Each structure stands twice: as structure tokens, then as C-alpha cells.
Amino acid sequence: MTDRRTLLKLFSGLPLVGLTVACSETEDQTAACSPRPFHDDELCVLCGMTIVEYPGPKAQACVDDGTRNLGFCSTTDLFAWALQPENATRLRRAYVHDMEGQSWESPDDSLLMVAKQAYYVVGDPRIAAMGLTLVPFGDDRRAEAHKQHLVDNGVDDAHILTYDEIDWDVLNELSSAVGSMDFERAREIMGDM
């Protein structure tokens, strides 16, 4: 017959077993949450535009149980989605194109990186799917070099932000800047970058 002390020992270990199972499920979900190539007919979950038909860096959000990736036609669309309170609890991990050496017209999907690890240049005059966008770089020195290129060419307010520094004010700044853009000047500044 089992005595009281044995039962207490047995039951005291149950929370640890539950915690271990919960942690391993989270690790499995994170492992399943990896970037994937965009499909030719994939639509942006925020605006409904066909993702691959537009230039600039794109994004993905791994949601819910970690087995579903949502596609976004721009980094600004990703942040507009992620900053909504109802989506914050769904987001497991986000990915963005590392734009180091990438074609603006057609970034390489094999170079998607974890969005929280990127450095975002604000002030790039090139137009992406939804107007001006945040240009992600995986290396802070590359982001700084890109920002300096912009400043050297007259974009005095170009600056770098981290993932956690991007908020609605930043997105509104990008949105309102489109109306005052000199697109000919933008082409001169960026050339073939």
C-alpha cells in the first residue's frame, strides 16, 4: 500500500512534467516556424495584393501553432499587422528579406532572416508595394553604410531602428512622406542599388 509521503513525492513532480512538456511543445513549434519561398499567386494578408508582383523587401509571420506562415508584400505591412493587439498573441516569429546586396525588384527568398534581428533603415526613397518601406539589413554595419549613402545624397532624416523601436508613429511617418516625394530625385539617389 502506498503511504502518504510517497503520494506527495509523486504529485509534487507533476508540475515539472507539465512544464517540460509545455516547453518542448514551444520548442517544436519554433522549429516548425521557418521561412519559405513566396508563391507566385500568394496574396498579402493585410492588403490583398499579389506579393511577388511588387518590388522591395517582403515579410512573413509565423502564427498560432507555428505551422502557418502569413505573407506580406512589404515590411510596413508586416508591422501594421503585428502592431495590432489581436495579432500580438498569434505571432510566433517574423521574417524579412535581408537587403544586403539584394535586387530591389526581386529579393531572394533564401535570404529571409528573423525580423527581430534586423536593423531597419528609414528614409530610403524607393517605393515598395505599399509606398515607402523599412529596409532591413542583417548586419548593423551594412545598415549604417546604407543610411550614410542616403544622408550623403540629401536624405538628411535617414536613420536606423531595431524591431522593437518600430511603432505606429514610424509607420505614419513613412505613409505621410510619400506625398512629398520627388521620385526623379529618388531614382538619382539610389541608381542601381
Q: Give the model's pLDDT for residue 64.
A: 84
pLDDT of res. 97: 98
Residue type, 174: L
Asked if 125 and 132 count as a contact pair (C-beta separation under 8 A), the reply is yes
Identify which of 79, 77, 74 has the alpha carbon closest to the alpha carbon of residue 97: 74
User: 135, 153 in Cβ contact below 8 A?
Assistant: no
Which phi and psi angles does 91 have, rounded to 5°? Answer: -75, 120
All three cell numbers of 98, joined, read: 535581408
The dihedrals phi and psi of 56, each to the nearest 5 degrees, come to 90, 170
Q: What is the distance between the alpha carbons of residues 193 and 188, in angstroms, rounded to a whole number?
A: 11
CA atoms within 13 A on the CB side of 51: 25
| Run of H or E residues at 171 | helix 168-177
pLDDT of residue 26: 55
pLDDT tens track of the chain, all 193 residues? 555 555 445 555 544 444 343 444 455 555 568 999 999 999 999 999 999 999 999 999 999 877 789 999 999 999 999 999 999 889 999 999 999 999 999 999 999 999 999 999 999 999 999 889 999 999 999 999 999 999 999 998 999 999 999 999 999 988 887 665 555 655 666 664 5
The H-or-E segment that residue 60 falls in is: strand 59-63
